[in-house]
Amino acid sequence: MSAKQLITEHIDLWTSTIKAKNTQGRGSSKKRELYGIKKLRELILELAVRGKLVPQDPSDEPASKLLKRIAAEKTRLIKDKKIKKQKPLPEITDEEKLFDLPSGWKWVRLGNIGNIYNGNSVNARVKEEKYTDVEGLPFIATKDVGYGFEPIDYSNGVCIPIGEPKFKVAYKGAVLVCAEGGSAGKKCGVANKDICFGNKLFANQLFGEISPAYVLSNYLTPTFYKQFSESMTGIIGGISTSKFFELIMPLPPLNEQHRIVAKVDELMILCDQLEQQTESSLDAHNQLVDTLLSTLTKARDSKELSDNWARLADHFDTLITSDYAVEQLKQTIFQLAVMGKLAPQNPNDEPARELLKRIAAEKEQLINDKKIKKQNPLPEISDEEKSFSLPDGWEWCRVTEIMNCERDISYGVIKLEQEPESNGIPTLRCSDVKPGFVDLSGVRTVSPEIEEPYKRTRLTGGEVLVNIRGTLGGVALVNKELAGYNIAREVAMLPAHNEVEGSYLVNVIASPFFWKMIESNLKGIAYKGLNLNILRNLAIPLPPKYEQFRIATKTNDLIERCEELKTQLNDAQTTQLHLSDAVVENALTV
């Protein structure tokens, strides 16, 4: 099957195979990866370097003659002292050869086809004082190199004066690759001008008119990256020049290199177009999801809500087809819940204002009995704070008004030091508090001595936990199994009054309405967080006591169904991922 057939006959697979990125927290950007198109790009590159992308021409000069000219060129450069003589590299064994090559091709070690060297580090202060906005060669750091076919960014403003003795120069056509850190073997590109470059980059100055774009295509294949990563060492991960010299790649005749590069360029443009069309289609679908779901929360009365839901339900199977759509549906459910549009009202329910009066009276009695201190009066809730109209019997109140009268909203242990070997107090961090549940798989413990000043945040059951720093978006109800646990400083404990349904409060905090208030009140630069006093004074809608329970029951039921739907979608997505992998694997083994 030709490359064109592989693309066209499986185009639905390439464009519909989407992988959800493993992101955490509320508001994370770009949570999808176009996995099918990524696999298509990898397939094109693998076919290219295996001689399966363009036909061979028996009249082409074989790679063996090119290698003879390269050997002669290296000898001349060493004699002229333009490059250093290196130790002979070992012959390539049959065991090392990764696949069979077409006639006229040769396996080569990178150290035999180019002069490979790393660059120079520049102290940040010196860079700022001496090398910024001066004339010279652009200095390229790892951050300026993209992931393959992205052009190198020359706009950082750092230049090295020509002739500066410390700095090595990579000339136009040099192939760069990151050799150290998380981007090692992934960031690479071709310099289209003379440059100086950083010490975490290798430059490969090729001999014998070898095509830099062809070598770059090799660098970008999964097969080459596997070689590269297996040769890395160290904690942060890096490859030495000696190991990099020994990596192998397939070398075609010179004319075929140019044909391969032209075909790869053509097909990558096609992949770009497919990617743009797919992204546009997904964005349009997401916008449609947002628009139709917003008609539910904007409905003026129960009839309009019912009509809008019926309209959405008619297209449910074609609308709710992605993780994004399911998440937006969940957010709509939470929003409808706190607006009083999810569960029916009962005119016989005691109004919420009576509940607020009882809590206030209880607090007043505790003050009179000198069991708690008197607090400053809370400000009246302004019309601007009331984000929407409430049903009869509901009231706007501040978060602190519905808390346990003898416990305050608090955060916990400031510093989690070395865990004790025994008798530690399990302490929940923001990474443990997820949207709707607590994950106990990675809970740490602190010594009782460290925890002693924070006994006020020891959990008893019924509290609501919400992340106020770090990974935001986590909110969960504490069940009895967590009694005796404590919390870290990035988690706030909301001890709801025993007449307030904790699950309803979780729904409030999980709703878009509440999240918008959190976002607008975050403080800090690198590590943003929510001040506890702001949290205490946020205005929220409070239904009658028994309606809270009905809302929580209905919401939990619908969210559970959403999770079931999400599991089904993820299972289907996993099947497509496996299918994409299988198509690629099959194409490479034919």
Q: How far, in Å, CA of 401 to CA of 378, rounded?
A: 9
- For residue 132, the cross-strand partners are 158
Long-range own/partner contacts, residues 387-391 (CB < 8 A, 24 or more apart): 387/513, 388/339, 388/513, 388/541, 390/339, 390/340, 390/541, 391/340, 391/345, 391/543
Please give the pLDDT value at position 25: 55
Q: How far, in Å, CA of 301 to CA of 18, rounded?
A: 38
User: Burial, 201: exposed, middle or buried (Cβ in 10 Å; 0-12, 13-18, 19+)?
Assistant: buried
Of 378, 377, 301, the residue nearest 345 (C-alpha): 301
- For residue 188, the cross-strand partners are 147, 177
Of 559, 564, 31, 20, the residue nearest 332 (C-alpha): 559
Q: CB within 8 A of 346, min separation 6: which ones?
A: 544, 546, 547
Please give the pLDDT value at position 259: 97
Q: How far, in Å, CA of 486 to CA of 480, rounded?
A: 13
Please give the pLDDT value at position 28: 47
Helix (H, G, I), strand (E, B) or coil at 496: strand
Q: Are strands 444-446 and 425-428 parallel, antiparallel or unpaired?
A: antiparallel
* Token digits of residue 80: 């002229």
DSSP 98: -
What does the CA dihedral 387, 391, 392, 398 come to, rounded to 10 degrees?
Answer: -40
* Token digits of residue 490: 């990035």
Please give the pLDDT value at position 457: 94
Of 512, 118, 479, the residue nearest 290 (C-alpha): 512
Q: In order along the chain (590 residues), what is the average pLDDT of each group of 10 residues?
A: 72 86 55 89 94 94 95 92 88 94 96 94 83 91 91 92 89 96 94 95 94 97 95 89 96 97 94 93 92 88 83 87 92 94 92 96 93 90 94 96 94 84 91 95 91 92 94 94 94 96 96 93 85 95 96 94 92 89 80
423 conformational bin, left if phi > 0, alpha if psi -120 to 50, beta if neither: left
Q: CB within 8 A of 143, min separation 6: which ones?
A: 156
Please give the pLDDT value at position 299: 85
Q: How far, in Å, CA of 587 to CA of 138, rounded?
A: 42
Q: Give 26-86 as a DSSP string.
A: TT-S--EE-HHHHHHHHHHHHHHHTT-SS---TTSPPHHHHHHHHHHHHHHHHHTTSS---
